[in-house]
Every structure is written in structure tokens, then in C-alpha cells.
A and B are shown apart, each in its own frame.
Chain A
Amino acid sequence: MKEKTLFEEDLKKLQKIVEELSSGKITLGESLKKYEEGVKLAQSCSATLEEAQRKVEQLMKKDGKVSLEKFDDIEIEEK
């Protein structure tokens, strides 16, 4: 979950790096550093999107108290 909340932030950072690199206004040393950082960000963002694990939960409410329970969607798929 932490990874996911950072996603939009990472995406913003990445976009800024892409812009900086294409402006050609930074030194070669900076460019290489930014490039490395950008490639890492792009990879981690892609990985977050491609992540295959997921949870399907059901919000239950009893006497005003809420709880999350695993929702079995296997049964649904078979129908």
C-alpha cells in the first residue's frame, strides 16, 4: 500500500526528470544522474501497475462496527 500511495508522487517526479532531460539545460553529470533516477522511477511505477497480487474484501457492519473480511470471488467466477 505504501508503494501505491507513492505512485502519483513518483509519476510527478518522473515527468519532471523527463522535462529536465529534454531541456538540455543541465550538465552531463546531472543528466546522467537524472537519467539513472528516471529509469529507476519508470521501472518501479511500471512494476506497481503490473503487480498481480490483489485483495478482495468485504466491508461488514455489525452493531455499527465495521470490519473487513475476505470476499470469496472464486465462487462467483464459477457461476
Chain B
Amino acid sequence: MQKLSKLENNGLPSSRQSQKLENNGLPSSRQSQKHIYTVSEITQVIKVLLEEKVGEIWLEGEISNFKAATSGHFYFSLKDHGALILGAMFAHANKNLKFKLEDGQKVICFGKVDVYGPRGQYQIIVERIEPKGVGAQQLAFEQLKKKLDQEGLFDARHKKPLPQMPFTVGIVTSSKGAAVRDILQILKKGASGVDVILRSVRVQGEQAAAEIAQAITDLNNLKPLDLIIVSRGGGSTEDLWSFNEEIVARAIYNSRLPIISAVGHQINTTLSDLVADVFVETPSAAAKIIVDKKNALLARLAGFKYEMNFSINNTISDLKNRLTAFTHMLKSPRDHLFEKQQQIDELFSGLNYNMRHALELAAQRSSALIQRLEALSPLAILSRGYSLSVLVSQGAILKDVGMIKPGDRLKTILYKGAFTSAVLEVFNDERKNLI
């Protein structure tokens, strides 16, 4: 900052100087010497003044009208609320730029003021540029992330499914690191049948990203692998930076084999995590995925065994039941005989019942008749005081006095006992007088 203000101080007086010079120049041309500048000459004067007197400066401003030419040079303007200056950053200067320049970005740049004669323009030729506020690395990360995201590298549809059971696993990490130790220990304990092919790489520093990317490609060319774990133990954001490099992200994206990214500890999310088919927080967690897969498969196999036993038992008991049902449906001749006998028995018992019923009815009717008959019996009439007389000689019951004459013998029957008598006199039609 000190440098900046110093430069500005240097710059301002010199620009005043240049005005002074112009003032000196113009009158001189008009007056005595009549020196007439050509456009090129005056431009040259301005060029010398600006380039030498202002020279190299630090400049803060906002980028606008950014253009990257096919030549590799960058052209843009830098502005603040009151002014604008053209800027250029040539290919040799921008080739190592970690982040992408964009309109609206606030930057601090270092460069020198330059006059471009053919257009009568002054501009700043930028040698170095830094984003204002966030660090260049962080900005580069955000920009790369955005770019890869837009290209679809993080898309779920590009994620490859992990195999049901990875039997041979490639690991890209340092052979000296904690990551490989953690992974191998967990596999040995939980999934001891899994073969491992380690491709040892540097996991931090300048060369690391290229080595990691190459290792992913190399392991892909080894036929028998089922998946690759790209891993590194925990560390600072800078330590893990290789896993944020574009070359690593692209190698993961282009991998034919599914990749588990297991970089750092918990909070660090690297670009390799975002591109990988599966990402976990620690190297141990990557190994646990494999162990879990193995255990899940064993449980599934146990389930299959149970289901098969259940099904076969079901089939057998079902057949048994059907067999029993069929046996019942099959009838022997003896069964037919029994059936007829049973029919007869049923008919017979029906007959018995009906007969008994008919007899009972008849008995009821006869006793009723007997009662009526009893009511009509002569003895019942005699009990009420009437008597019955019979002409003894003829044995006939007397109904008419014409049947008798005096002297005939009569036998009279009373309710209780009887007696004989002789007729003394006969009266014709004297019924009224009799009683």
C-alpha cells in the first residue's frame, strides 16, 4: 500500500509535468520556432512522458469488457466510479494465471502504463493480477468448480454404480501415508478376500496432481480391477490442493472404473470428491464401503437360503395336502355299498317314523269315536231313570203298545237290575198321562 501511494505520488507530479511540457511545447510551436509536431512525434513525446514518468504501478479497479483473444492475449478495461483505463495482459503474463478474469471482478494489478500509438490510446499492460478480497487460489477453485459443473462433470447421471462386490480394488495414494494404512487395516479385518493394487503417488506438492491423474489412468488400463479409491489423509486446505486440480478432476471423470474419493477429514470437499462416483469423508470410510457391501451380500445370501427352504417346504406340504384331497375323492366299490346301505338306513328310519305317526293318528281318532259311542250307550240313558222293556215271548224291545196285550210277560231292564212283570191293561196313545 505504501508502494502504491508512493507510485501515485510519483505519477501525479509527472502527469502535471507532462501538461507543463505540453504548454511549453504548444506555444513554442506557435510562436518562435514554429515547430510543428507530426502526430507520431507528439505521440512519441506522450509515450515517453507516460511510460517513463508513470512507469510501473499498482492499480486497483473493476474489470469490464473482458475479452480473451485467440492469440492468448487478454483485453479489458479497469474502472472505478469516475474513470476508466484500458488494460491488456499478454499471453506470456496470463498463462500462469490461477483464476479466470471476469467482468465485474475487483482486482489489484501490477503493470506499466503504455501508449498505443496507432489508436492514440494509453493503457496499462498488466503483468500480475490478483483478485481483491478472496485469495487467488480460492477464487480459482470456485471458478474451476463452476466451469466443471457447467460441463456436467458433477452430474448424477455420470456417476457409475459401484459393483455389487469389489474383489480387486485399486488405491491411488502415497504408500507412506496414513490413508493406505487405514484402508488396508479395515479391509484385512472386514473383507479379507479383497485384493489390493496400490499405485503410490505424491499427494501434495507441484507434481502431485499430474501423478494422481496418471495413476488413475494407469489403474484403468489394468484389466481386473473393480474400483479405484483415490485417497489422502487429512491435512490443511493447501495440503489437499492437488485434489482440486482440473487434471485430477478430469482423470476421475474419464475413468472407466468407478471411483471412490476419500480425501482429507470431514469438512474438506475437494473437486475430486464432487466428480467421483462416490465420495466419503475419510480413507477408512472408503474401506468400510467395501466391508459393508460384503456383509450386505452375506446377509442377502442367508436370506436366499431361508427363502429357498421355505419355498421347498411349502411346495412339499402343498403337494401332501393335495394328495390327501385326491385320496378322499377316489371311491372304492365298498364305499358305494356303504353309501347305498346308508341310504336304505335313512329311508328305513323314515318309514318307521311315518308309520308310527300314522298309528298315533289312528289311535287318537278311535279314542274320540269311543267317547262319542259311550255317550250314545243305552246304559247312559238308563242312568238318567229311563228303562227298557222286552216282550219276553218275542224277545223284542217294546216301542209300541200295539205289540202287547194284557197277560203278556215283560222283562224290564233298569239302570240297576231288572225284573219281569205281566201286562194288566193297555192304553193307546196315553203318553202324556203317563208322566
Which residues from chain A sit less than 8 Å from chain B, CB to CB? 1, 4, 7-8, 11, 14-15, 17-18, 21-22, 24, 28, 31-32, 35, 38-39, 42, 45-46, 48-59, 61, 66, 68, 71, 73, 76-77, 79
Contact = CB atoms under 8 A, between A and B. Distances in A.
B195 interface: yes
B29 interface: no
Contact of A50 (B164, B187, B193): B193
A43 B8 CA distance: 83
Contacts of B184: 56, 73, 76-77
Interface stretch (B38-46, B113-121, B255-263, B315-323): B315-323
A51 B298 CA distance: 12
Interface in B237-267: none
B192 to A, nearest CB: 5
B315 A24 contact: yes
Contacts of B194: 54
A56 B185 contact: no
Classify the secondary structure of A's interface with B: helix
A77 B185 contact: yes
B298 A68 contact: no
Interface in B193-240: 193-200, 215, 218-219, 221-222, 224
A18 B307 CA distance: 7
A59 B218 contact: yes
> 8 tightest A-B contacts by CB?
A51-B193, A21-B311, A4-B167, A59-B199, A76-B181, A56-B196, A55-B195, A22-B311
B312 A35 contact: yes
A45 B301 contact: yes
A75 to B, nearest CB: 10
B297 interface: yes
23 contacts: A1-B168, A8-B164, A11-B164, A15-B304, A21-B312, A22-B310, A24-B311, A24-B318, A28-B316, A39-B308, A42-B305, A49-B294, A49-B301, A50-B193, A50-B298, A51-B193, A54-B187, A54-B193, A54-B196, A58-B198, A59-B219, A66-B222, A76-B181
A21 B308 contact: yes
A76 B175 CA distance: 9
Chain B CB count within 10 A is highest, among A32, A48, A57, for A57
Contacts of A66: 218, 221-222
Given A71-B198, A77-B181, A1 B311 contact: no
A7 B167 contact: yes
Interface of B: 163-165, 167-168, 170, 175, 180-181, 184-185, 187-188, 192-200, 215, 218-219, 221-222, 224, 294, 297-298, 301, 304-305, 307-308, 310-312, 314-316, 318-319
A14 B193 contact: no
B181 to A, nearest CB: 5
B301 A31 contact: no
Nearest to B214: A61
Given A46-B298, A49-B298, A59 B222 contact: yes
A42 B304 contact: yes
A26 to B, nearest CB: 8
B305 A54 contact: no
Nearest to B224: A1
A32 to B, nearest CB: 7
A57 B200 CA distance: 11
Nearest to B295: A49
Contacts of A49: 165, 193, 294, 297-298, 301
Contacts of A21: 307-308, 311-312, 315
A57 B197 contact: yes
Contacts of B219: 59
A15 B308 CA distance: 10
A25 B280 CA distance: 45
A28 B193 contact: no
Contact of A53 (B180, B193, B294, B304): B193
A54 to B, nearest CB: 5
Contact of A24 (B294, B297, B304, B314): B314
Contacts of A77: 181, 184-185
A71 B193 contact: no
Nearest to A37: B308
B304 A31 contact: no
B295 to A, nearest CB: 9
Contact of B315 (A31, A50, A79): A31
A56 to B, nearest CB: 5
B197 A68 contact: yes
B301 A58 contact: no
A45 B301 CA distance: 8
Contacts of A35: 308, 311-312
B257 to A, nearest CB: 13
